[in-house]
Each structure stands twice: as C-alpha cells, then as structure tokens.
Chains A and B, each alone.
Chain A
Amino acid sequence: MQKHQQLKSSLFKLAQADGMPGAETTAAEVAKGELEKFMQVEKDVLGNVVGKIGGKGPHILLDAHLDQIGLIVTAIDEKGFIRFDRCGGADVRVLPAHEVLVWGEKTLYGLVCSMPPHLTKAESAGKAKPADELAIDVGMDKKSLSKIVKPGDRISLKGPQGELLGGRVFSPTLDDRAGVASVLRCLEILKDKEHGCRLTVLFSTQEETSGSGAKVASYKAEADEAIAVDVSFACAPGLLKEKCADLGGGTMVGVAPTLDRGMSKDLINLAQRENIPYQVEVMGGRTGTNADSIQNSGKGLKMALLSLPLRNMHTAVEVADLEDIESTARLMAAYILERGQENA
C-alpha cells in the first residue's frame, strides 16, 4: 500500500514513543516536534502539548490524547519480580507472557510471568488472574532492581508494528496516536490554505485515567468550538453491529446528547458534499472520550467528536486503517475551511 506511506511512517513514529497516563514525556516530545512544524507549541502544567495559530475567525480547538493504557509498579518482591496494577483500562487477559518495558531510571525489558499449561491446575484453567496477582520478570535480583525501579514507575505493553493487507496497520498505542496523526495530517492539508480561523491544537494527557489533561487545557484555551478525535470500535467477530463501525469505512461522526447537534450535522453535510467517506456513530449520553470534559470545561463550548474505527482496543495489536485516518483529517480540514469562509 504505497498510497499513505508518509502517513504510515508518521503514525508509526508517534506510536513507537511510549506515554502512560501522567508520564507522557516521551510521546509528548515526539508529538511536540511534529506539531512545531506548523505552529508555536508549549507544554502546560499537566504536560499537555498545546499549539496555537492566530486568526480573526472562530476559535476552534482540535484535541487528540497523547497517553496510552499501561501498568504501574506497586512493589518489588523478595525474588526480584515487579508487582503492578493497571494504569488505565488494560485487559488482564492478554497479559500473561506479554513483553513489557519498565520505565525506571533506565528502561528495562521484561515479561509478565505466566504459568505454562503443563503446570496449571484444571480448576484455574480458563480464568484470568487480576493484575495484582501477576508480576513482571526483568531477570534481576531485588537489590539491583530496587536501584533502578521504584513504585509508581510506569510500564508499557511492548509489541511489534506491522502492516496487514489493504493499508491496515497494527501497533501498540494507536489509541490515540492514530488521532494525533490525523490532527497532524489535517494541519498538513491546511498548510497552504487561507482559512482565517484561530486554532488551538491540543495533544492531551491522562485521558485513559481521568480526562484531566483535556479539561485543564480547554479551560485555558477558551475556544468557541472543539473537535475531539479519538478511536472507537471497529467491527470484528463477536461484536454487535450497532456497537461498531466498519474498519476502512471512513471517519465516524459522533451524534450524542452531549455533542452539538448542529456541528454533527455540518460535519455530515460536509462529508457528503466533499465525498469524504464517513459513518455515523450514535451514543446515548456521554461519549467516553475527551469530548465529555472539553464540552463542559469552564464556560463550555460547542463540541463535536470524530472517531477512528479500531480493532483490539487496549491491546498491543490495535488495528487501524490508514484510509480512516486520512478521511478524518480531510473532514476536519474541510470543516475548518468552511467555518473560516463563513466568517470571511
């Protein structure tokens, strides 16, 4: 799939840098470097990466979150194994024998302990252990390990990146680096175009735990309206049709009581007019994304949500379709151009 080579390499670069909730530094630096190609960028007190472009038109905030689900060190046991808990919504069923990186004074490679089938008892078969009964093996004794790793250090799930058929890719952390990539792609599309809008671009922290990053940054930005870009469920075996969208079927325009109905409608109309593939994602209340905290921050603003269909969410093999990242970027760009023209 030659079509989106640049998008793919940008996405893989963003996704390779780890950033767990409250410890997003590595991912933030990579995203900041990319964003600086388009605008002035600063980091705020919670580690949010915030870029700004001035303009006389409406003030639009674009958000994608930086952080990924991970684990957090709670203790080191007598044998030198690391005990941990979840930091964000990791699925404990995938953890046994999983490769991890432990982000201590040095970054250590490790494996989540697992008992081989030869030694497991029939009564425990089929049941996953909770996180606090699992441990990580970094091949060191307690004494030397304690100098490098401390309680509170974050742990990331490690896994290869790769390409599947038809422009589909897999990698850890596509939730939500795929969103970050689509915002950057949108800025690329807008680069040589006059739109007149004032833009705030927010790559936010701590979405997977509390949404605090987006809440604080959007309060300070005081935008008129905002579009959050996150991932949502792509259809796969075992999922109900009404709970998922087609992978590769286009950007998902959110329609929900907490989202501005006018903005959702405008986005749908624009997608139709511009021939941008899209799907409608209907939710019954809050969205479970940063849209919830941004809409309600400070004096509030008009909120929209675009989602990217993603398979295997919260695992190290999240699957996305580059075409969906592209259509999300195109629709965002079209919206900004449209809003700028209305106010010209």
Chain B
Amino acid sequence: MLKKIKDLCQIPAVSGGEEKVRAYLIKKIEGKADHEVDALGNLIVYKKGKKAAKNKVMLAAHMDEIGLIINLINDEGFLKFIKVGGIDTAVLLGRSVEIGDKAVKGVIGVKPIHLLKEEEKHTFPEDGELYIDIGAKSREDALKHVSLGDLAVLESQPTEFGTSLLKARALDDRAGCALLLHMIEQESQYDLTFAFTVQEEVGLRGAKTAAWALEPDYALVVEATTAADIAGVEAEKEVCSLGKGAVVSFMDRATVYDREMYKKAFELAEKHGIKIQPKAAVAGGNDAGAIHSAGGGAKTLAISLPCRYLHSASSTIDKNDLEEVYKLIVKLGEYYAND
C-alpha cells in the first residue's frame, strides 16, 4: 500500500492532464476487473464480488492534483503561469518545479530579501508577479523546451519521517486512489463500482459525469482532508488530527451529507474497532458535491485521511490512518451493497 501511494504521488497529473495516473491504475487493474474510460477521462472500474449487490455502490477518488499551467513566455525567457486549483503563494515561492511531459526543471523566482521594502518582507507578491526560471536566455530558447499550456508540478520526493508520518506531493488524492486500487486488488463480497475521477480541483467536473452515467444508489468519496492539528491551533479548531483514524464529514462547502450514512459510519467503526473522527468544521469540498446531486441523486458520504499541509508539495499523512480508512470503506461498501 505504501509503495502504491509513493508511486502514485510521484506521477504528475495536474487537472486536465491525468493520463499518466490513469495509465498506472489501468496497468494494475487489468485482469482483476473490467474498466472503461469515459469522454472526460474518468476511469470506471467494475469489480465483481462473490455475490451480486442489492444496491449499486460507487467508490470515488480523484486522480488530478493542483499545479500550474504556463500562460506566457516573456522576451527574457521567463515563464508566467496560472495556478490550477487553490494554492497559496507561500508554498510556491522558492520551490523547484517540473514542466510538461519532458519534466523540464525550473524554479519559482523570489525577489531577494535584501532588496525588499519593509512592508514587502511580510507581503506575498501578487499572482501576476510570479514566474518560473528555467535558465533560458530568451523566449526563443525557452520555446525549444516548453510550450504555452504546459502543466507543471512542484518537485517533491516522498519522505517518511517522525514516528509514523509520510510527506509527499499529491496525497490529495493519490492516497484515495491507492486505497481504492488496493480494494480492487482484493476479493470483494459484493459487486462494486469504482470511479477514478478527473478535474476535481477545478470544480468537481469529472465526478459529475461519472455519477450521471453510473447512477449509483450510494456513493463513498475517499479523500484527503485538511488536518489543522498543528502548532498554535486550539483543539476545537483542529478540524481533524493525524493518527486518530478515518475522518467522516457531516457537511462541507459543497455537500450536506446523508445523516444516516454519517451515523452508520460511526456505528460500523465501533462494531469493528476502527478509529474514526468527525471532520469538525464546515470547510473545503470534494467530489461528493457533484456526485450527490448528479442525475436523480445519490446518498453520499466522504471518508478521508487526515492530511496536514494540503495543497502544498509537503502534504503529510500518518501511515497508521491508512489502515483505518481502508477498513471503514470496506465495511461501508459491504453494508450498503447489501442493505
């Protein structure tokens, strides 16, 4: 499981350019389940269980990640970009990036602190001032290596540290992809449907068409969500904590979750000794927003890994939480398939 996560997190797949993650998943899935790819690029997997399911349960995780898209190359050979998805400038400044299919190296420039006015020292530059330096000496030089529209990701090596933590880029939501992949590779009690979606970070675009086509009765969205259990944050504002198990949402900025499913998750967790915690804030949003309201609607729940420093190249999970989330989605899948 850990190897799958590390592999998946190293594949660049900014929204709209998910093909390499999809290819990795298809390679792993082939022979174990049927699959198809829809018009947007969602990967749909039909897993046969020992028994037919009474209800159609769809499990979803998104393949895309936040990143950058090159929108201008200036005369001096510097690249300008647009942020794809929600990214703070702080996690971009002074970082190295890889651009396009050839993984051209670049760095995001920073005006040296020595030349900043006092107020600039504590103010982030405007988005329009940000640029990537690939070492090119002119526009012409740069164009030999990059093109407008190229996607870029922050460079980040998966790193295990501390007692049980793992840092990697794109844990949101490759961790979810790895959990679902692992589930597909095991025997299943009932038939299940899996959707590896595209374009979550730019407005839950893929999940909408996938859910419309699949018309699930129940949907389980497997995600990585914001843990604020960090220095200086009061306990009641931590949202969720690393090491405390699967995070279940009652409401976020995109979805009011099915109340019965929320309660059922806690009930099943207690019954099977699974660590579980609520997402104790109404914040963020995920594919559930599109899935619960697609077509005739579906009862939907989001189960997440608590993740620190989300939407940076340093997103961090506790390895122990993986097992808890995995057990919970398996139990929920079985329960709703046969309810």
Contacts and interface: CB of A to CB of B under 8 A. Distances in A.
Interface of A: 77, 79, 81, 83, 89-99, 108-111, 113-120, 126-128, 130, 133-135, 137-141, 144, 159-160, 162-168, 170, 233, 236-239, 243, 248, 288, 311-317, 319
B86 A117 contact: yes
Contacts of B106: 164
Given A77-B231, A139-B164, A165-B141, A128 B123 contact: yes
A130 B239 CA distance: 24
A139 B123 contact: no
B318 to A, nearest CB: 8
Contacts of B308: 111, 113, 137
Given A135-B230, A164-B134, 11 more contacts: A90-B113, A97-B309, A116-B226, A118-B226, A118-B284, A118-B311, A140-B163, A233-B112, A238-B125, A311-B133, A314-B112
Interface centre among A135, A166, A237, A248 (most CB of B within 10 A): A237
B123 A126 contact: yes
Given A93-B110, A119-B226, A236-B133, A79 B231 contact: yes
Contact of A162 (B88, B96, B108, B231): B96
A138 B316 CA distance: 11
A123 B70 CA distance: 29
Interface string B82-115: 0000111111011110000000011111111111
Contacts of B155: 160, 162
Contacts of B96: 159-160, 162, 170, 317
Interface of B: 74, 76, 78, 86-91, 93-96, 105-115, 121-125, 129, 131, 133-137, 141-142, 145, 155, 157, 159, 161-165, 167, 226, 228-232, 239, 281, 283-284, 308-314, 316
Contacts of A144: 163
16 contacts: A93-B110, A119-B226, A119-B283, A135-B230, A137-B316, A165-B137, A170-B105, A236-B109, A236-B111, A237-B78, A237-B129, A238-B129, A312-B110, A314-B114, A315-B94, A319-B135
B3 to A, nearest CB: 19
Contact of A97 (B141, B142, B313): B313
Contacts of A109: 159, 161-162
B162 A94 contact: no
Given A160-B155, A170-B107, A99 B314 contact: yes
Contacts of A163: 105, 135
Contact of A83 (B122, B164, B231): B231
Nearest to B243: A139
A140 B164 CA distance: 9
Contacts of A141: 163
Contact of A114 (B90, B109, B131, B281): B90
Contacts of B314: 97-99, 111, 114
Nearest to A1: B135
A48 B140 CA distance: 46
Contacts of A313: 112-114
A274 B164 CA distance: 59
Closest 3 CB pairs of A and B: A139-B162, A164-B135, A135-B231
B122 A128 contact: yes
Contacts of A91: 93-94, 110, 112-113, 121
B141 A166 contact: yes
A95 B89 CA distance: 11
A143 B105 CA distance: 41
Contacts of A288: 114
Contacts of A130: 122
Contact of B124 (A113, A126, A159, A233): A126
B250 to A, nearest CB: 16
Nearest to B112: A313
B232 A312 contact: no
Contacts of A137: 162, 165, 230-231, 308, 316
Contacts of A170: 96, 105, 107
B312 A116 contact: yes
A116 B113 CA distance: 24
Of residues B109, B164, B229, B231, which shows the largest number of chain A Cβ atoms within 10 Å of its Cβ? B231
B94 A316 contact: yes
| Residue among A91, A92, A170, A316 with the highest chain B CB neighbour number at 10 A | A91
B88 A96 contact: yes
Given A110-B161, A119-B228, A233-B115, A93 B124 contact: yes
A138 B141 contact: no
B94 A317 contact: yes
A165 B93 contact: no
Nearest to B159: A109
A311 B230 contact: no
A187 B316 CA distance: 46
A293 B86 CA distance: 47
Nearest to B161: A109
A77 B134 CA distance: 40
B94 A312 contact: yes
Contacts of A95: 90
B90 A97 contact: yes
Contacts of B113: 89-91, 313-314
B145 to A, nearest CB: 7
Contacts of A134: 231
B105 A162 contact: yes
Contacts of B91: 96-97, 114
A122 to B, nearest CB: 13
A145 B222 CA distance: 33
A119 B239 contact: yes
Contact of B93 (A83, A93, A239): A93
Given A140-B163, A168-B135, A239 B226 contact: no
Contacts of A113: 230-232, 308-309
A239 B111 CA distance: 7
A72 B157 CA distance: 25
A167 B133 CA distance: 13
A90 B113 CA distance: 8
